[in-house]
Amino acid sequence: MGGSTADGITRVERGARVALEEGARVQLAGSVRLAMPEPLRSSLGDRPCAYWDVREGLDDAPKDRGAQPFWLEHAGERVLVRPPYEVRARADRRREVLDAVDADLGAIEARIGALKDQLRSAQGPEASALAKERKSLAKVATLLYTTRAHARGKLHRSSSLKAQEAWIRANAHLVEGQAGSRSLSLAVDRWEVLLEPGDTVAAVGVVGREPLPAGIAGGGGYRERPTCWVLRGLDGEPPLILGVGEAAPRPPAERRKERSGGSSPHVPSALPPRQGMDPILKWTLILVGAAVALAWLLR
């Protein structure tokens, strides 16, 4: 079947010819084909699929899911994958968030710089409007800096990641309809992982030959006793599917309901205080103290 790696798993790329063997530990790349007469419909996008799950923001754990058997079609062979199986999203959600935040922050910081220049000569109502916009953008920038830290697993404004996530959600309304909205959507909204017909995925497990289960369509085998290749999990675990993740934002009405304290858990609506001394104040006090000490020594 080809060379095996140190973990004993033979990795076979999509389209590569391979003779399947009973009990072989493999990672097969191929296409998803429906095995049931009717596909599932995904929860958020209502799309036909063999598997869907709903995740939220940067959380990797599915909140809800639906699964049915599917065929993994590889180089003319079909291997049946049956639930339960684990689907690991190929989309790197954290990388997406960081890229979006960097782009949004660049645009916001450029605008804040332009406003600063305009305020040097502006007067009256014009100056007030510019100052108001600058203040608003500064709040958005703070929210995005916190979101970037959160995507990296670091704290920026809170004492815990859980509290920081609640703060981000509570203040996400600051970016609606302006720069930063895509970053916050990626960071907090619900999204779905799908296995749709034709998707290219990789499946990890142990292959074996079994009788074709009742109700399964599209298999192959001997006419007298239909059989098929199946994928079982490694070492007692379910088969692992490396799938494709897609964003599916929550409707605006649902986001408003969450913020107003509908059926979702309560999150604070006000900005929590920073934990510990402000870094600027801290270093100012250190420098002043050093200057006083130096002046006393030089008397």
Question: Comparing C-alpha atoms, which of 184, 245, 179, 235 is closest to residue 205?
Answer: 235
The beta-carbon contacts of 17-20 under 8 Å, at least 24 apart in sequence, are 17/75, 18/74, 18/75, 20/77, 20/79, 20/207, 20/229
* Per-residue pLDDT band at 17 (split at 50, 70, 90): confident
3 pLDDT above the threshold of 80: no
Q: Which of 2-6, 54-58, 216-220 has the lowest mean pLDDT?
A: 2-6
The set of residues, in sequence order, having a beta carbon less than 8 Å from that of 225 and lying 6+ positions away, is 211
What residues does each domain of the chain span? 10-89+192-247
pLDDT value of residue 284: 52
More confident residue, 254 or 155: 155
Provide the CATH number for the domain formed by 10-89+192-247 in this structure.
2.40.50
pLDDT value of residue 211: 94
Mean pLDDT, the chain, rounded, equals: 80
- Is residue 104 scored above 60 in pLDDT? yes
Angle at 159 between CA 154 and CA 164, to 5 degrees: 65
Query: Where does the pLDDT of residue 116 fall: very low under 50, low under 70, confident under 90, or very high at 90 and above?
Result: very high
Q: Residue 32 — pLDDT band, cuts 50, 70, 90?
A: very high
User: Where are the alpha helices (H) located in 153-232, listed in sequence order?
Assistant: 161-170, 181-188
Rg (CA), the chain: 27
Q: What is the pLDDT of residues 220-269, one digit of tens each?
A: 544 445 899 999 999 999 999 986 544 343 333 443 444 444 433 222 22
What pLDDT sits at residue 273?
Answer: 31
